[in-house]
Amino acid sequence: MPLAGKLPPLVVILGATATGKTGLSLELADIFGGEIVNADSRQIYRGMDIGTAKATPAQQQRIPHHLLDIATPAENPGLAEYQTLAYQAIEAIHARGRLPFLVGGTGQYLTAVTEGWSIPQVPPNPDLRAHLEEYARMYGNQALHDWLIQMDPPAAATIHPNNVRRVVRALEVYLETGTPISELQQRRPPPYRILTIGLHLRRELLYPRADQRVDEMLAAGFLAEVRRLLMEGYTPELPAMHTLGYAELGAHLLDGLPLAEAIQRTKYHTHDFIRRQEVWFRGHDHGILWHNVEGLNIAEPVTSIRAWLTGD
């Protein structure tokens, strides 16, 4: 697999929602004797299959997958836990003499692994979080962000004021440790050679494609999946149930939101999510080999990977 004297290889396949990462990764893993490590923060949950576009049982049987179904929707594994599990999975794949493919669209998951983030090992403090969230509700998101600017300007510069969850986490780390999260989040590149393949598609083509995928999920039983999760006691307040589609269909089932409106909201929120994914990837582009999904020939990424593996 790796050339003598070189670090072991890791192929990353990333892209926004509905760009075809799953299909391409299956084909490439098949060609190169690879195994897939999930980098989607919602596919880690058991029972959330249709709405997260998780690889089907048949696809998982075809190519080994890792870090799928590692938590219940009631659990909330942190980024540090994911990073540790991902490194363990990659090392195990290397030990078997196979090629690991890190595949997904969750920017933080991908970047934590490939850039070697040092993630603060600070356990959640529910009472402190509740206090900070209440502060944001009373005085506004900007006021909470202003507080973070005072405590940790570098972190504040990278977090949007409306991303309350990340602002709360940054403040929580500072208030618990006395050290800014920006200082704790130092980077130590992992011991891999990394080739990153990115998939992109013009938004005027990608949005309809994402909309069609929502329709296909509904036809496959997405609404029944959400209903089952709610009946099993997974409430809308859980972070997992904030996932695209699950929140909107949950509002239909619990609050009487018309189904057509729930579907339209899911599509609109998916478009917004795609925009945010693209912003993240642009901000962390350290030599991504981008491939246009429109008319993509698999021979192109195959040639890139083969040349990279052999050093040509």
Supply the mean pLDDT for the chain. 94
| Confidence (pLDDT) at 312 | 60
Query: Are the CB atoms for 24 and 199 separated by under 8 Å?
Result: yes
Mean pLDDT to the nearest integer, 103-108? 96
Beta-carbon contacts of residue 240 (< 8 Å; ≥ 6 apart): 42, 45, 48, 73, 74, 75, 76, 234, 246
Can you tell me which residue has the tokens 């299959």? 49
Half-sphere exposure of residue 239: CA atoms within 13 angstroms, side-chain side: 11
Say what angle helices 79-95 and 107-114 make with each other, to 10 degrees: 60
Q: What is the CA radius of gyration of the chain?
A: 20
pTM: 0.84
Q: Which of 22-31, 185-194, 276-285 has the lowest mean pLDDT?
A: 185-194
pLDDT digits (tens, 9 = 90+) for 114-169: 999 887 778 889 999 999 999 999 999 999 999 999 999 999 998 999 999 999 99
- CATH fold of 126-184 reads Histone, subunit A (1.10.20)
Q: Do domains 9-118+187-310 and 126-184 have the same CATH topology?
A: no
Rounded distance, CA 292 to CA 297, Å? 9
Rounded distance, CA 203 to CA 217, Å? 20
Binning the chain into helix, strand and coil, the percentages to the nearest 5 are 55, 10, 35
| Confidence (pLDDT) at 4 | 42
Rounded distance, CA 97 to CA 272, Å? 40
pLDDT digits (tens, 9 = 90+) for 155-203: 999 899 999 999 999 999 999 988 888 887 777 889 999 999 999 999 9
Beta-carbon contacts of residue 84 (< 8 Å; ≥ 6 apart): none
The domain locations on the chain are: 9-118+187-310, 126-184
- Identify the CATH number of the domain defined by range 9-118+187-310: 3.40.50.300
| Confidence (pLDDT) at 3 | 47
pLDDT band of 5, cuts 50, 70, 90: low
